[in-house]
A and B are shown apart, each in its own frame.
Chain A
Amino acid sequence: MYRVKYLPKMIIIVIVAVSLLLSVSCWDSREIDDLALILGIAVDYIPEEEKVMYSTLVVRPGQVGGVQEGSGQFFMGPVWISESSGKTLFEASRNLSSRSPRFIFESHIQAIVVGEEIARRGIAEVVDYVTREREQRLLPPFLIAKGRAVEVFRAEPELENNIAQEIRGILNSQLDLSTTPVINVKNFILPLNQPGIDAVAPVIQVSEVPTFPDEELPVGYEPESKKTISIEGTAVFSRNQLAGFLDVPETKGMLWVRGDVTQTTMIPRLPDEGEVTVYIIRSGSSMEPEFIDNKLKISIQIETEGDIFISTIRQDISDPEVIEELEKTLANHIKQEILAAAAKSKEYQSDFLGFGAAFRRKDPEKWKEFEKSWREMLQEVEVEVRVLAEIRRTGLISTPILVE
């Protein structure tokens, strides 16, 4: 009785279970064997052809773990640099699939490099591409290349397997140096929408260095050179167009104002021609906008703390008076950097220091009056900088051991 009662149910359950096993599938399944993992994308505009060029750095399967050289096999690098072009960025990126045997998979991008030319013409298309596409995330570093972006991918990495990881590594170590802003896609696109602040991005450039120093060159070899990358300085935007570049001191000035200096070394020059390197440990900034009879004034206040790293001055740095003098020199040094950045802000008509946003926070009513003509008003903003620099520690020795 028992069995007969439950038999039909059992049969149905078995049929359902078996058909489930057979029909397991997924419309969007993608096996890793079918994916072209893209590590970096570079976007350029080619004026001669009036086309957008989309270049990718693709992991070459099977070569990621490193290649044994001299094994007699044909040497293939760990990455494939593919290029494709089209009228729009999206078209260019889809044209890539006519050359790639695998699905283009963009979820693991580690660097996005944008060429100078397309940045000057306007970044809107690139920003839309990296935010609308489902596979894209907002985390990869966003950089502006001096010249063509694709050249960056052709450079050789020094330590890492590929240039995208190299870029990521360099940016991480930049956190300790503060010579370039560390910007990912999210940080880049935030100011594009906000009133009273403009976007910035780190600058990457390619330079040629000799492979061997001259004296080590074996007889009969031509001196070779290789391309390497360096990331330094800042690309500054005005609305969505690249307005210009900042050099390292101006970049530092900008980072002081934005409160992004975590650690850096400063070399204030002293009257007796000695030098002191100060290692900044902490810094904070605040901005106080004021309206004085229709004139705009910004007071920037910086507070910072540092340790002495290297000193070649004659005075005894265990003397509090000398330290005080050093602190003043350091404060002045920081002030000059900030003023240099502010001057560039006016020159490029780019409010990358966020003065407009500060005015808006202070008085939203008044901000509405000059919001439209803000970039012109920026010229008339008076900038006042006050720096409070303190040197806390002098390292393990007091006066330099060798002083002539």
Chain B
Amino acid sequence: MLEEGKISTRQATFLMVNTILATAILFLPAISTRQALQDAWISTLITTGNGILISLLVVTLMRRFPRQTLVQYSEDIAGKVIGKIIGVGYIWFFLHINAIIVREFGDFLIAVFMPRTPLLVFNAMIVILAIMVVRSGLEPLGRLNEWIFILNSLILIFIFALTLREVSPANFQPVLEGGIVPALRGAYTPTAWFGEIITLGMIFPFLTQPHRGYRIAIGAHLIVGAFLLMGAFITIGIFGPELVSRLKFPIMAAVRLISFGEFFERIESLVMVIWVGGVFVKISVFHYATVMAAAHSFNLRDYRPLVIPLGILNVILSIHLFEGVTDLVEFLSITFPVYALSTFELGIPALLLLAALFQGKRGENNV
């Protein structure tokens, strides 16, 4: 075993929540409102439904092979050659998505807080942190995230409570103005975010209670869905759908409106707290998944020597993948869903599951 640590069901759930929510809460309200306008909250409900379907599928696959990672049993199911190709594909996928997340991290901090600081500084610093935590293993990450998750949730609930009085219900009317189609299209991009639950495939063998896999994935999606629903409710209620679709970071704009008695205001640094904390966990989980995928594909005895080189690769990719924010958002809202869902998040796991069912293959100690 490459990993000696074990994480509990709760730690795994919280890890998955932060893996999906960290970037979703900032980017998604604008992206899904662009398609669904005032029905973006319906899109969120649909997305959560989609997310649960995806988790049923991928967790069924994971539960058949509870002692192995996704990359390992893809070799068992699809044979050595194709299995290796899938494994290398997953290394690339996790690395690529992680580079995008690192880019989002730096871009947000530059756009909102520190415009003249070079992108490299933010990207390198967060990846160095991720390298440190991945080197120390899954268990410390799981424990650390319990605190970060609780802190982030409290801050988010606090923000929602303070902005609630600005919400005007008229902004949600008329409901389903253009029928159900815009709401479905608004759910399209977020579904790819929910599909990031596939990273669970890389930590599944290290769960103390693998038979609770469904609970982890579905629980994580329900928590994320609840927070995103709150986010959609607050942003659309305050700004109206037309303005939300034009704002780059609607939650940020909403937080900037908080002002009580001219002394309790300017609390947007709280958004920075949840952003840095949450995205740190997200990047760490993805980096861990990248490193694990690489170590398992090439049958290494230790994954630690890979942590730093892949981290450096990640920083370089994060800077050179996109020209600017327009590219990034375009990729996230149009290319990313097709790319991720058709292959690594849904397509390949579905094929693997089908093949495993036909062959009747199971791992040891399946639950």
What residues make up the interface of A, taking CB atoms closer than 8 Å to B? 26-28, 134, 137-139, 186, 189-190, 193-194, 357, 360-362, 364
Give B229 Cβ to nearest chain A Cβ, in Å: 22
Q: Give Cα A186 to B257, complex, Å.
A: 9
Q: Is B78 an interface residue (CB 8 A)?
A: no
Give B92 Cβ to nearest chain A Cβ, in Å: 33
Contact B111 A134 (CB under 8 A): yes
Known: A28-B113, A357-B170. 9 other contacts (CB 8 A): A26-B117, A27-B121, A134-B111, A138-B253, A186-B239, A194-B240, A360-B174, A361-B170, A361-B174
On whether A138 and B117 interact (CB within 8 A), knowing A186-B239, A189-B243, the answer reads no
Q: Give Cα A134 to B253, complex, Å.
A: 11
Q: Is B357 an interface residue (CB 8 A)?
A: no
On whether A364 and B256 interact (CB within 8 A), knowing A27-B118, A193-B246, A194-B242, the answer reads no
Neighbour of B256 across the interface among A26, A138, A193, A194, CB < 8 A: A138
On whether A190 and B239 interact (CB within 8 A), knowing A134-B111, A138-B253, the answer reads yes
Contact B240 A137 (CB under 8 A): no
How many B residues touch A, CB cutoff 8 Å? 25
Q: Give Cα A138 to B246, complex, Å.
A: 14
On whether A361 and B173 interact (CB within 8 A), knowing A134-B111, A138-B253, A186-B257, the answer reads yes
| Residues of the B chain whose Cβ atoms lie less than 8 Å from the Cβ of A27 | 114, 116-118, 121
| Residues of the B chain whose Cβ atoms lie less than 8 Å from the Cβ of A190 | 239-240, 243
Neighbour of B259 across the interface among A26, A139, A189, A362, CB < 8 A: A139
Contact B257 A139 (CB under 8 A): yes
| Residues of the A chain whose Cβ atoms lie less than 8 Å from the Cβ of B112 | 134
B 335-362 to A, binary, CB cutoff 8 A, 1 in contact else 0: 0000000000000000000000000000
Q: Give Cα A193 to B253, complex, Å.
A: 16
Contact A26 B114 (CB under 8 A): yes
Give B129 Cβ to nearest chain A Cβ, in Å: 15
Q: Which residue of B lies closest to A358 (CB)?
A: B170
Q: Give Cα A357 to B173, complex, Å.
A: 9
Q: Is B302 an interface residue (CB 8 A)?
A: no
Q: Give Cα A377 to B174, complex, Å.
A: 21
Neighbour of A139 across the interface among B238, B240, B243, B256, CB < 8 A: B256
What residues make up the interface of B, taking CB atoms closer than 8 Å to A? 111-118, 121, 170, 173-174, 177-178, 238-240, 242-243, 246, 253, 256-257, 259, 265
Contact A193 B242 (CB under 8 A): yes
| Residues of the A chain whose Cβ atoms lie less than 8 Å from the Cβ of B116 | 27-28
Q: Which residue of B lies closest to A136 (CB)?
A: B256
Q: Give Cα A190 to B243, complex, Å.
A: 7
What would be 29 A-B contacts, judged by CB atoms less than 8 Å apart? A27-B114, A27-B116, A27-B117, A27-B118, A27-B121, A28-B114, A28-B115, A134-B111, A134-B112, A137-B256, A137-B257, A138-B256, A138-B257, A139-B256, A139-B259, A186-B238, A186-B239, A189-B243, A190-B240, A193-B240, A193-B246, A357-B170, A361-B170, A361-B173, A361-B174, A362-B174, A364-B174, A364-B177, A364-B178
| Residues of the A chain whose Cβ atoms lie less than 8 Å from the Cβ of B113 | 28
Give B262 Cβ to nearest chain A Cβ, in Å: 9
Q: Give Cα A364 to B182, complex, Å.
A: 14
| Residues of the A chain whose Cβ atoms lie less than 8 Å from the Cβ of B242 | 193-194
Q: Which residue of B lies closest to A357 (CB)?
A: B170
| Residues of the B chain whose Cβ atoms lie less than 8 Å from the Cβ of A134 | 111-112, 115
| Residues of the B chain whose Cβ atoms lie less than 8 Å from the Cβ of A138 | 253, 256-257
Q: Give Cα A138 to B250, complex, Å.
A: 12
Q: Which residue of B lies closest to A363 (CB)?
A: B174
Q: Which residue of B lies closest to A137 (CB)?
A: B256
Q: Which residue of A lies closest to B259 (CB)?
A: A139
| Residues of the B chain whose Cβ atoms lie less than 8 Å from the Cβ of A193 | 240, 242-243, 246
Give B81 Cβ to nearest chain A Cβ, in Å: 46
Q: Which residue of A lies closest to B238 (CB)?
A: A186
Q: Which residue of B lies closest to A186 (CB)?
A: B257
| Residues of the B chain whose Cβ atoms lie less than 8 Å from the Cβ of A362 | 174
Give A93 Cβ to nearest chain B Cβ, in Å: 16
Q: Give Cα A51 to B343, complex, Å.
A: 55
Give B122 Cβ to nearest chain A Cβ, in Å: 11
Q: Which residue of A lies closest to B176 (CB)?
A: A364
Please provide the 5 A-B residue pairs with the shortest distance between their CB atoms, ordered closest to farther: A193-B242, A27-B117, A28-B114, A364-B177, A361-B173
Q: Which residue of A lies closest to B118 (CB)?
A: A27
Q: Give Cα A360 to B118, complex, Å.
A: 47
On whether A28 and B117 interact (CB within 8 A), knowing A139-B257, A360-B174, A361-B173, the answer reads yes
| Residues of the B chain whose Cβ atoms lie less than 8 Å from the Cβ of A357 | 170
Give A32 Cβ to nearest chain B Cβ, in Å: 15
Q: Which residue of A lies closest to B268 (CB)?
A: A137
